[in-house]
């Protein structure tokens, strides 16, 4: 209903005349005039009759022509009408008292006797127009209310759906604190947290362009990719690449996702961030109050079919906390239109480690004067307490369909050109899961294969010394060298063999890894270990804990790990 209805024909218009009882030439004249114009017409002689007519059918207009008009009852008459009832009064004299009464009960028009027919028709027309406008407005209001109710209902359903999808796999951990304003999800903000089989913690903070439900519609497939790939042990570079490609295919040109994805690697006390279009994040060391601003290095996701990821690596300790915020907090305005900004955020969060959230909220409230915000504030705090690894709990062992242990063997070999491009560990482990259904042991098997593969690549094929990683500078240097050697090396290969067989209590998986590197003096390491536990890398200790046996062969470029599992 964008335009008013056309003016109804007189034949469709019902007029009631209120006249004094008894023969009255005036009424006849008025009726005659109305009938001549084709109006449908009825005569009443009392207020009760008028009300009866009103309750019987919609009346479009009331003309009061009695000498002693019942002005006190006009309110009752109007109450009985279906919609707005315009009233024209025909009077003998326009006295002040009469006009006062007209004003009190809101009579629409008054005509003085003798009645000028043209004037009467003009007044009828404008009164009918008033009723029509009122009806039109009323219909629009009802329609709007309907829309509102429908949209509220849809929001409710959508909120439930989103919560179910996004929360189903969300890892609740003390390491990650999330503060989200109630409607932030519907303004396109989202937070996902999960861990890999190797106990790497993945966190994604995203902010879709636009507002309202359509902004967050792509959240579901995105969450599926994030949780699915993290569970399978893919690294965040691969996850970001996949999310970007998916969003590029899904979203129209003007829509994208500004996001940051972070991975925390407890075993190397390090963190990697991939920043795509969100305002800067702060890595605060609460021990010495120093901080690092982590800037966005990449374009938002979903714009280009593929992206060249620029990542950032950081050494972290238990003193560090990472603060990720969406632009809603940065852009919160005070009364003068001044933005809250990064400096105020930093001042608030650096005051105290334990009160960081409260201080930030208090400072934000003081700035905005408690004014209602656009309601799209999301804050994520990642505690980098790598040594206590608070998220590193084992997943509950789910009852699964038991698959009988079978005998099989799989060998795959990767040359340097494929090692440059892919990490085969998630693929290989998933194959083992498919064949033998060892979901309950996914984490253990993943850690074994991943550790063996990393050793073969870093120390075997690439010949990097793990001692390099012990200092912060060396740590960065290590990864820079790894990148460089991977690109430059012409030759190199890794062969992974999986051999599985049944045993009395369950099954045995033997993993053999061979690399083209020079190996290492494992005999010396064995004797060193007896004297100095701390000398060995954390990785090998972990392998020895998980495996029934771990044996190096030859010059140290071959290793055999045995993993036994039980029904």
Partner 1 sequence: MGIEARVDGGVLSIKISGRFDFGVHNEFREATKLVESGVKLIEVDLNGTEYLDSSALGMLLVLRDKMAGDKSAIRIKNSRTEVKKILEIANFDKLFTLS
Strands 493-502 and 408-415 come out as: antiparallel
Q: What is the spatial distance between Cα 66 and Cα 524, in angstroms, rounded to a whole number? A: 121
Residues at the interface with partner 1 (CB under 8 A): 207, 209-210, 253-256, 258, 276-280, 295-300, 303-304, 327
Q: What is the spatial distance between Cα 274 and Cα 263, in angstroms, rounded to a whole number? A: 9
Q: DSSP per residue over 109-137, as a string? A: EEEESSPPHHHHHHHHHHHHHHHHHHHHH
Which helix (DSSP H) or strand (DSSP E) does residue 484 occupy? helix 472-488
Q: Are 61 and 81 in contact (CB under 8 A)?
A: no
User: Which one, 323 or 478, has the nearer CB to partner 1?
Assistant: 323
CB of 298 to partner 1, least distance (A): 6
Distance of CA 547 to the CA centre of its chain: 41
Q: What is the spatial distance between Cα 437 and Cα 65, in angstroms, rounded to a whole number? A: 93
User: Which one, 108 or 189, has the nearer CB to partner 1?
Assistant: 189
Q: What is the spatial distance between Cα 278 and Cα 30, in angstroms, rounded to a whole number? A: 75
Question: ω before 387 within 30° of 0 (cis)?
Answer: no
CB of 392 to partner 1, least distance (A): 34
CB of 254 to partner 1, least distance (A): 3
Q: Are 419 and 521 in contact (CB under 8 A)?
A: no
Q: What is the spatial distance between Cα 344 and Cα 330, in angstroms, rounded to a whole number? A: 9
CB of 306 to partner 1, least distance (A): 12
What is the maximal distance between C-alpha atoms in the chain?
130
CB of 295 to partner 1, least distance (A): 8
- The contacts of residue 61 (CB under 8 Å, 6+ apart) are 13, 14, 15, 16, 85, 86, 87, 88, 124, 127, 128, 131
CB of 303 to partner 1, least distance (A): 6
Q: What is the spatial distance between Cα 479 and Cα 472, in angstroms, rounded to a whole number? A: 11
User: Which one, 200 or 255, has the nearer CB to partner 1?
Assistant: 255
Tokens of 461: 């094929």
CB of 323 to partner 1, least distance (A): 16
CB of 428 to partner 1, least distance (A): 35
CB of 218 to partner 1, least distance (A): 14
- The contacts of residue 328 (CB under 8 Å, 6+ apart) are 181, 184, 187, 189, 373, 374, 375, 376, 377, 378
User: Which one, 109 or 261, has the nearer CB to partner 1?
Assistant: 261
CB of 209 to partner 1, least distance (A): 4
User: Which one, 64 or 251, has the nearer CB to partner 1?
Assistant: 251
3-state secondary structure of 564: strand
CB of 96 to partner 1, least distance (A): 52
User: Which one, 37 or 214, has the nearer CB to partner 1?
Assistant: 214
Buried b / exposed e along 476-495 (16+ C-beta atoms within 10 A)? bebbebeeebbeebeebbbe
Nearest to 380 by CA among 145, 219, 167, 193: 193
CB of 283 to partner 1, least distance (A): 17
CB of 200 to partner 1, least distance (A): 26
Strands 506-515 and 493-502 come out as: antiparallel
Q: What is the spatial distance between Cα 443 and Cα 165, in angstroms, rounded to a whole number? A: 23
Q: Are 413 and 514 in contact (CB under 8 A)?
A: no
Cβ-based burial of 559 (10 A; exposed 0-12, middle 13-18, buried ≥19): buried
Q: What is the spatial distance between Cα 545 and Cα 119, in angstroms, rounded to a whole number? A: 104
CB of 37 to partner 1, least distance (A): 46
Q: What is the spatial distance between Cα 59 and Cα 44, in angstroms, rounded to a whole number? A: 13
CB of 527 to partner 1, least distance (A): 53
User: Which one, 274 or 428, has the nearer CB to partner 1?
Assistant: 274
User: Which one, 328 or 426, has the nearer CB to partner 1?
Assistant: 328
Strands in 248-358 per DSSP E: 257-265, 270-276, 281-285, 290-294, 311-315, 320-325
């Amino acid at each position: 209903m964008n335009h008013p209805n056309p003016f109804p024909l007189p034949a469709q218009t019902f007029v009631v005349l209120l006249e004094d009882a008894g023969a009255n030439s005036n009424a006849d004249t008025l009726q005659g005039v109305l009938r001549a114009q084709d109006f449908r017409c009825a005569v009443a002689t009392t207020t009760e009759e008028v009300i009866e007519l009103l309750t019987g059918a919609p009346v479009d207009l009331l003309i009061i022509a009695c000498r002693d008009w019942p002005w006190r009852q006009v309110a009752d008459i109007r109450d009985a009408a279906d919609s707005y009832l315009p009233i024209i009064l025909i009077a003998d004299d326009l006295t002040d008292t009469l006009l006062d009464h007209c004003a009190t009960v809101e009579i629409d028009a008054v005509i003085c006797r003798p009645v000028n027919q043209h004037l009467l028709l003009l007044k009828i027309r404008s009164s009918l127009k008033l009723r029509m406008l009122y009806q039109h407005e009323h219909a629009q209001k009802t329609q709007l209310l309907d829309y509102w109710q429908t949209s509220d209902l849809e929001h409710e359903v959508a909120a439930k759906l989103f919560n179910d999808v996004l929360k189903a796999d969300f890892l609740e951990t003390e390491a990650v604190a999330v503060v989200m304003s109630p409607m932030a999800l519907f303004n396109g903000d989202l937070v996902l947290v999960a861990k890999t089989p190797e106990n790497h913690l993945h966190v994604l903070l995203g902010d879709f362009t636009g507002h309202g439900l359509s902004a967050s519609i792509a959240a579901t497939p995105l969450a599926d990719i994030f949780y699915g790939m993290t569970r399978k042990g893919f690294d965040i570079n691969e996850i970001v690449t996949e999310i970007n490609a998916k969003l590029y295919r899904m979203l129209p040109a003007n829509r994208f996702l500004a996001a940051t994805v972070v991975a925390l690697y407890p075993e190397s006390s390090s963190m990697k961030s991939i920043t795509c279009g969100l305002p800067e994040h702060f890595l605060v060391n609460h021990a010495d109050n120093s901080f690092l601003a982590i800037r966005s290095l990449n374009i938002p996701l979903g714009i280009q079919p593929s992206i060249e990821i620029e990542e950032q690596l950081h050494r972290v300790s238990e003193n560090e906390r990472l603060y990720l915020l969406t632009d809603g907090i940065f852009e919160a305005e005070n009364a003068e239109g001044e933005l809250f900004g990064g400096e105020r955020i930093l001042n608030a969060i650096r005051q105290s480690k334990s009160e960081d959230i409260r201080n930030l909220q208090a400072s934000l409230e003081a700035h905005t004067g408690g004014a209602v915000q656009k309601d799209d504030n999301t804050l994520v705090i990642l505690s980098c307490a790598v040594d206590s690894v608070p998220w590193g709990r084992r997943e509950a062992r789910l009852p699964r369909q038991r698959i009988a242990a079978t005998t099989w063997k799989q060998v795959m070999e990767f040359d340097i050109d494929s090692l440059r491009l892919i990490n085969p560990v998630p693929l290989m482990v998933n194959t083992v899961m498919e064949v033998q259904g060892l979901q309950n042991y996914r984490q253990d098997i993943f850690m074994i294969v991943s550790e063996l593969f990393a050793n073969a690549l870093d120390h075997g094929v690439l010949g990097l010394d793990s001692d390099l990683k012990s200092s912060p500078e060396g740590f960065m240097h290590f990864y820079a060298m790894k990148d460089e050697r991977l690109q430059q090396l012409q030759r190199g290969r890794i062969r992974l063999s999986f051999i599985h067989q049944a045993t009395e209590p369950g099954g045995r998986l033997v993993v053999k890894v061979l690399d083209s590197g020079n190996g290492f003096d494992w005999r010396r390491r064995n004797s060193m270990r007896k004297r100095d536990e701390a000398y060995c890398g954390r990785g090998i200790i972990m392998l020895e804990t998980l495996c029934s046996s771990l044996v190096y062969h030859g010059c140290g470029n071959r290793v055999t790990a045995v993993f036994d599992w039980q029904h």
